[in-house]
Amino acid sequence: MSNASSPRPADAPESNDRRTTRAVEPVGETMRGARILVESLIKEGVDIMFGYPGGAILHVYDELHKQASRISHILVRHEQGAAHAAEGYARSTGKVGVCMATSGPGATNLVTGLTNAMMDSTPIVAITGQVATKFIGNDAFQEADIVGITRPCTKYNYLVKDVKDLAETIKEAFYIARSGRPGPVLVDIPKDITANEYPFIWPESIDIPSYKPTVKGHPLQVKKAVDLITKTEKVILYIGGGVVNAGAAPEILELAERLNLPVTPTLMALGAFPPGHAQALGMLGMHGTYTANIAMHEAELIVNIGARFDDRVTGAVEHFARKAQKIHVDVDPSSVNKSVKVDLPIVGDAKVVTRQLIDALPPGPPPERTAWWNRLRDLQKNHPLRFREKGDVIMPQRVLVELADITKGRHICATDVGQHQMWAAQYYPADSPRKWLTSGGLGTMGYGLPAAMGAAMGHPGETVLCISGDGSFQMCIQELATCVHEGLNVKIIILNNNFLGMVRQWQELFYSRRYSEVGMKYFPDFVKIAEAYGATGLRAEKPSEVRAVLEKGLSTPGTVVMDVIVSKEANVYPMMPAGAAHYEIQEEPLDDAPAPEPRELA
């Protein structure tokens, strides 16, 4: 990169005086901002990105064309798809996902994906074009104050006002996105900045004095935690998405086995503990297993590693695990005592702190916890996940039971949001971390297909599942074109119940079956849609066809849409109604009981 003929301008250090980092570097080759951006992305190890071109970002796309052999760009069909694809890529690979859009509508279309990544702590970097500096604030064509708009839904964002700052900004953006509690970072670059020239100088390191995430847990707190865990009988290990982000699954397994602890993952942590393990209780929360929820209620000590006491997990906070002391390990200090008061907080990285806990354990065999395990085994035996078959109608749960049987949970699985998501969470046994992609915090319908697409791009040749519903699927259906265009092995299973099922379920249970605006009328024909996009379309309408359609769909190369017509009014159980407590969790009624009385909802 060094080029002695292009000296660094004399004013460079001064212009950077507000920067927290300054790498003393040899003079770099002078190039346009667009090229500096692309070189910076390559320096960050980006080999694939998802985006959509437009006026303000044309210089960058011109550069991407020139550098196509060094960095790939996937043309999505809507910028929302780019953001979710970057999320799917990031969650499935552990690397930072990158999406790109032009100014104005291109940028605003990223907002849902950015917010989703913020809620689920997913590291992505969004690059947006902006109108030229001199037009900013003039209501110029395709101008939007995207830095203002995304301030609350990014971990941090930048407006690059000088080409001199570009390389360092990109380096910082990636560092911020992946460190501490990961999240989305947006870099907004005006068009003239991408045209201006400056030497490309890649900073060797980044130091932000005001941003120093705590990684190692306080040793005294760790010791107290170990004392508490070893002297308490009824302990439960409650793990969240932080375990996946930190890559802490091996440590969690070791800790759980050393201490003979039951383990319950949140929706975001599915796959982080082997689902078939004898100590696995299944997911907890609103649609978690009966056993996991009752165990939380009866526990004397809850050890939360990398979860955040989300309201879908705690139910009514005032009734939440009142008997239990609580240990909370979280990399984000603001998660501690946010909704649930904890007895022993440990701020730090889930992997590092779990290792500290293991290292501090006294020697000896795992404790028996006989009474506790007897109680849990009893709950598991009497309250397994269950559903009722209904003769000639396909039950949605049956589809997932078959899928689990065929795949054994070895494929990456993305979901959309709604009933199908909860059934998939209950029945798809993702066998390792980073194989479960779902919109947890934000609950974004339309996440599934682009997330599966991003994961498929990150795992060339691999089959990626997308479990969706007839509502969700239509929210980002346009990405079928991208999947087919890229020849991706994305296998979409639509649990088609002709309803916005989760909303319908709430209307059934809490609004006396007044089904307001939830009927989907079996439009469109998803098989024909698939064919129109150049994908394979398959349909199952009878229980006897399910297995064959799944097997055929999974073995057909390329993008496949499996439209499975399922029971229209199946409900997700167990269910802990919003605002209810863990002990109030309801299971699937064994007979056709009358609908419960409507109640006020939180």
3-state class (DSSP) for residue 291: helix
Q: Could you say which of 1, 29, 67, 142 is catalytic?
A: 142
CA 233, distance to chain mean position in Å, is 34
Q: Could you say which of 66, 141, 212, 551 is catalytic?
A: 141
> How many residues interact with another protein (rule CB under 8 A)?
23
According to the binding rule CB under 8 A, does residue 15 interact with another protein?
Answer: no
According to the binding rule CB under 8 A, does residue 209 interact with another protein?
Answer: yes
According to the binding rule CB under 8 A, does residue 161 interact with another protein?
Answer: yes
In the complex, what is the shortest distance from the CB of residue 110 to another protein, in angstroms, rounded to a whole number? 18
- Quote the CA–CA distance of 422 and 148 in Å, as a whole number: 34
Q: Which of 2, 9, 15, 20 binds another protein (CB under 8 A)?
A: 20
According to the binding rule CB under 8 A, does residue 511 interact with another protein?
Answer: no
In the complex, what is the shortest distance from the CB of residue 335 to another protein, in angstroms, rounded to a whole number? 9
- Quote the CA–CA distance of 511 and 599 in Å, as a whole number: 8
According to the binding rule CB under 8 A, does residue 210 interact with another protein?
Answer: yes
According to the binding rule CB under 8 A, does residue 162 interact with another protein?
Answer: no
Q: Cβ closer to another protein: 20 or 544?
A: 20
Exposure string of 340-371, with b = 16+ CB inside 10 Å and e = fewer, is bebebbbbbbbbbbbbbbeebeeeeeebebee
Q: Which of 37, 49, 114, 176 binds another protein (CB under 8 A)?
A: 176
- Quote the CA–CA distance of 97 and 91 in Å, as a whole number: 8
Q: What is the sign of the dihedral through the CA atoms of 292, 93, 550 and 563?
A: positive
According to the binding rule CB under 8 A, does residue 318 interact with another protein?
Answer: no
Selected range binding another protein among 7-15, 34-42, 274-282, 337-345, rule: CB under 8 A: 337-345
Selected range binding another protein among 237-245, 329-337, 356-364, 430-438, rule: CB under 8 A: 329-337
User: Can you count the helices (H) and strands (E) in the chain?
Assistant: 23, 19
According to the binding rule CB under 8 A, does residue 96 interact with another protein?
Answer: no
According to the binding rule CB under 8 A, does residue 117 interact with another protein?
Answer: no
According to the binding rule CB under 8 A, does residue 337 interact with another protein?
Answer: yes
Selected range binding another protein among 155-163, 251-259, 510-518, 561-569, rule: CB under 8 A: 155-163
According to the binding rule CB under 8 A, does residue 156 interact with another protein?
Answer: yes
Q: Which of 14, 45, 69, 152 binds another protein (CB under 8 A)?
A: 152
According to the binding rule CB under 8 A, does residue 312 interact with another protein?
Answer: no
In the complex, what is the shortest distance from the CB of residue 380 to another protein, in angstroms, rounded to a whole number? 36
Selected range binding another protein among 13-21, 235-243, 478-486, 571-579, rule: CB under 8 A: 13-21
219, with CB counted inside 10 A (0-12, 13-18, 19+), is exposed
Q: Could you say which of 95, 155, 164, 191 is catalytic?
A: 191
Q: Could you say which of 63, 79, 143, 251 is catalytic?
A: 79
Q: Which of 42, 147, 316, 527 binds another protein (CB under 8 A)?
A: 147
User: Residue type at 404?
Assistant: A
Q: CB within 8 A of 194, min separation 6: which ones?
A: 32, 33, 34, 37, 57, 59, 60, 129
- Quote the CA–CA distance of 394 and 566 in Å, as a whole number: 5
Q: Is 142 annotated as catalytic? A: yes
According to the binding rule CB under 8 A, does residue 431 interact with another protein?
Answer: no
According to the binding rule CB under 8 A, does residue 333 interact with another protein?
Answer: yes
Instruction: Spell out, one character per residue from 44 to 63, where the chain touches another protein: x when CB under 8 A holds, - when not.
Output: --------------------
Exposure string of 289-321, with b = 16+ CB inside 10 Å and e = fewer, is bbbbbbbbbbbebbbbbbbbbbbbbbbbeeebb
In the complex, what is the shortest distance from the CB of residue 162 to another protein, in angstroms, rounded to a whole number? 12
In the complex, what is the shortest distance from the CB of residue 164 to another protein, in angstroms, rounded to a whole number? 15
In the complex, what is the shortest distance from the CB of residue 145 to another protein, in angstroms, rounded to a whole number? 10
CB 571 within 8 A of CB 504: no
- The number of beta carbons lying within 10 Å of the beta carbon of residue 389 is 12
Tokens of 498: 């002709």
- Quote the CA–CA distance of 340 and 320 in Å, as a whole number: 8
Selected range binding another protein among 74-82, 153-161, 366-374, 507-515, rule: CB under 8 A: 153-161
Q: Cβ closer to another protein: 155 or 171?
A: 155
Q: Cβ closer to another protein: 185 or 466?
A: 185
Selected range binding another protein among 36-44, 72-80, 291-299, 331-339, rule: CB under 8 A: 331-339
Q: Which of 216, 312, 338, 552 binds another protein (CB under 8 A)?
A: 338
Q: What is the sign of the dihedral through the CA atoms of 359, 361, 362 and 365?
A: negative
CA nearest to 477, candidates 521, 525, 511 = 525
- Quote the CA–CA distance of 133 and 471 in Å, as a whole number: 41
- Quote the CA–CA distance of 277 and 409 in Å, as a whole number: 14
According to the binding rule CB under 8 A, does residue 208 interact with another protein?
Answer: yes
Q: Is 191 annotated as catalytic? A: yes
CA nearest to 152, candidates 186, 177, 176, 101 = 186
In the complex, what is the shortest distance from the CB of residue 152 to another protein, in angstroms, rounded to a whole number? 5
Q: Cβ closer to another protein: 160 or 243?
A: 160
Q: Cβ closer to another protein: 26 or 148?
A: 148
CA 72, distance to chain mean position in Å, is 23
Place of tokens 């701020």: 347
According to the binding rule CB under 8 A, does residue 2 interact with another protein?
Answer: no
CB 546 within 8 A of CB 564: yes
In the complex, what is the shortest distance from the CB of residue 209 to another protein, in angstroms, rounded to a whole number? 7
CB 455 within 8 A of CB 86: no
Q: Which of 277, 341, 377, 408 binds another protein (CB under 8 A)?
A: 341
CB 330 within 8 A of CB 308: yes
CB 269 within 8 A of CB 307: yes
Selected range binding another protein among 5-13, 58-66, 90-98, 154-162, rule: CB under 8 A: 154-162
3-state class (DSSP) for residue 373: helix
3-state class (DSSP) for residue 57: helix
Q: Which of 4, 10, 14, 17 binds another protein (CB under 8 A)?
A: 17
According to the binding rule CB under 8 A, does residue 151 interact with another protein?
Answer: yes
Q: Is 141 annotated as catalytic? A: yes
What's the chain's length in residues?
602
Beta bridge mates, 197 = 32
- Quote the CA–CA distance of 94 and 87 in Å, as a whole number: 10
Residues that bind another protein (CB under 8 A): 17-18, 20, 147-148, 151-152, 155-156, 159, 161, 176, 208-211, 332-334, 336-338, 341
Which residues carry out catalysis?
A: 79, 141-142, 191, 502
